Structure 1
């Protein structure tokens, strides 16, 4: 008789343990999904950050190409070109090449003259992505016009 009495007291405890295990496993699964989503968000932002950085860099390079052409035959002096891209007006770029497709940049130029030497400050700001993953980067570049004498 003692065997059946002990057996009847233990009924139902396995159900409580099973429910506890299911709840703990569900909580762990939810935490894993949250971590995976967070990692994907971080990777997306890293890729967009790199694209925005290179877009700003490309915009500065294009402005340098306009200021100091390789052939040395600019239609206007660099100071005049820079004034057309003053911070009040600037130049807007929209890129289509693979890798920076959908990125936008704006470049401004300020010139400073010290004697016969002109110094240029180029500032490019670029943004890539769309909400909620929009990333912006700003690059400054200083250029100095050398005397050709």
Structure 2
């Protein structure tokens, strides 16, 4: 008689356990998806950062070429500079700018370099900008 009163309790326990396991599985999938998204954004951000850094290095090498004692002022006309392709960094765009700035009453020419790189597309798009100041010094060697 006691056995007949407990009929179906195993079914209820099984349904409860399956429900709890399904909720836990869904939570684990969500955590894994979130982790993949974070990793993708970090990779794209690193690519964009290094692309922008390389852009500024490229600008500096054009502004102050090896073997010259003065800066090449034709580089810094305030217009976007071409010559470095964003595809080299697997990025969508790379914008390079160089501007001449007058700061106070200093006798040295100062340059403001900006490189902006955008990697990824749509919702997974990351942009990084790096700014660099450079100063042309007069040749004081004897």
Q: Give the TM-score normalised by structure 1.
A: 0.84
Aligned-pair CA distance for 1:116: 3.0
Match of 2:121 among 92, 114, 130: 130
Q: For 1:78, which of 72, 83, 96 is the aligned residue?
A: 72
Q: Which has the higher strand share?
A: 1
RMSD (CA atoms): 1.8
Contact 1:52 1:103 in 2 (8 A): no
Q: Does 1:67 align with 2:63?
A: yes
- Paired residues in the alignment total 137
Distance in 1 of aligned mates of 2:118 and 2:91: 9
CA offset digits 1:1-34 (Å, max 9, x no partner)? xxxx211000011101100000000000000000
Displacement, 1:73? 7.2
Per the TM alignment, residue 90 of structure 1 is displaced from its structure 2 partner at its CA by 1.3
Partner of 2:135: 144
CA contact (8 A) 1:121 1:143 kept: yes
Asked if residue 49 in structure 1 is aligned to residue 45 in structure 2, the reply is yes
Could you tell me which residue of structure 1 aligns to residue 23 of structure 2? 27
Do 1:116 and 1:147's aligned partners in 2 also have CA atoms closer than 8 Å?
no
**Structure having the higher Rg:** 1
CA distance in 1, matches of 2:6, 2:12: 11
Deviation at 1:103, TM superposition (A): 4.1
Whole-angstrom distance in 2 between the partners of 1:7 and 1:29 = 34
